[in-house]
Amino acid sequence: MNSIAATARRASRGSALLALLLLGACSVPMPDKPTRPQHYDLGPPLAAATSAAPIGVALAVDAVSAPATLDGSHILYRLMYEDGAQQPRPYAHARWSMTPPQLVTQRLRAAFAATRPVVELGGGLAPLELRAELDDFTQVFSSPKDSEGVVSLRVTVTAPHARGAERLLGQRTFVVRKPAPSADAPGGVSALRGATDEAVRQALDWVNALPAPR
């Protein structure tokens, strides 16, 4: 009888311990699901990004180049009010759908295609060639609540010669700043979209005003 009673007590203690373990497991919070980054692009080209200039000669537009810092999918910002203003920082949960150079290449080609034939560089089909370098494409914070999108685009236009040489027709840097409507990634995307469209408009008007090559 004593053996049966001892066995019963051990079984009771085991059941109680199991209940405590199950209760403890229920109180432990489950890990959160990983947050997927939101992806952004520049949206459809704005009608204002085109010009009423007459149809011009064909233009070969090269892919926009950029330093390694900008040649990725991260949306970058700078805190000018801190000591680390020279250090671009990426948003943790926001990405571009393509790299900024690819996004700006699309914008440039779409804008110029509204005023003249646009072809790929290297085919020998155009008397004008355009190359562009993206020097800045970041959201810049002057305070925790105030920021702007900054786009710096250097455009070079040349006229290729049959012997392989090129004649420089002009080079110009377009720097545009647009205020961000909010101090976060969506606000930075909106500001960079507006700054890009304005830089493209300025580049479009400048190239269309260049004298045609002889």
Tens of pLDDT, residues 74-107: 999 999 998 667 889 999 999 999 999 999 999 9
- In tens, the pLDDT along 190-199 reads 999 999 999 9
Exposure string of 67-98, with b = 16+ CB inside 10 Å and e = fewer, is eeebeebbbbbbbeeeeeeeebeebeebbbee
pLDDT of 24 over the 80 cut: no
Name the average pLDDT for the chain: 84
Region of 164 (left: φ > 0; alpha: ψ -120 to 50; beta: rest) is: left
Q: What's the token pair of residue 105?
A: 């290449």
pLDDT of 18 over the 80 cut: no
What's the pLDDT score for residue 28?
Answer: 47
pLDDT of 130 over the 80 cut: yes
Q: Which amino acid is at 78?
A: R
The CATH homologous superfamily to which domain 38-209 belongs is: ABC-type transport auxiliary lipoprotein component (3.40.50.10610)
| pLDDT range class, residue 4, cuts 50, 70, 90 | very low
- Number of C-beta neighbours around residue 114 at 10 A: 16
Higher per-residue pLDDT: 124 or 19: 124
| pLDDT range class, residue 13, cuts 50, 70, 90 | low
Residue ranges with strand state E in the chain? 38-40, 59-61, 74-79, 89-96, 118-119, 128-141, 147-160, 166-179
Higher per-residue pLDDT: 56 or 191: 191
What's the pLDDT score for residue 93?
Answer: 95
Q: Which amino acid is at 80?
A: M
